[in-house]
Amino acid sequence: MALDSGARWNLYANGVYMEISMQRDPDCMNPYLPGSYFLSMELQTENDFMGLHFRTEEDQANWRALWPERNQSYTKMRLEKEKAARAKGLEIDTEYQDPPLLTLTPAAHTSKVN
């Protein structure tokens, strides 16, 4: 009951993105009575997931060329948010790395077939 309704988790493995979302039934909020939770999962390819970072269909189709500039702005925003979080005394995981983009670095993710 402590989680906000509408909680989301994004997971990644081998070029597949999965979003899990949870919503509570707003009519069943008493913690001492049975409640209802609605879970949904959405699977997306890397191409579809990355396209969501752009507004127009043309940009979505061309996300590979546009990604370096967009990623720079995301990195800048993340660094600013991390700085603000540190100022509040929060610890930041500095070892985290974004998932590799398989379509931008295919040679690094191919396996040899014997």
pLDDT, one tens digit per residue, over 19-77 is: 999 888 878 778 788 878 889 999 999 999 999 999 999 999 999 999 999 999 999 99
Degrees (nearest 5) of the Cα angle 57, 19, 46? 45
Burial of 59 (0-12, 13-18, 19+ CB in 10 A): middle
Q: At residue 113, does pLDDT exceed 50?
A: no
Cβ neighbours around 17 below 10 Å, total: 18
- Rounded Cα gap, residues 62 and 56, in angstroms: 10
The confidence band for 1, taking pLDDT boundaries of 50, 70 and 90, is: low
User: Which of these, 12, 10, 34, lies nearest to 24 by C-alpha position?
Assistant: 34
Q: What is the DSSP letter of 6?
A: T
Nearest to 33 by CA among 44, 21, 24, 23: 24
Using a cut of 0.85, tell me whether the model's pTM lies above it: no
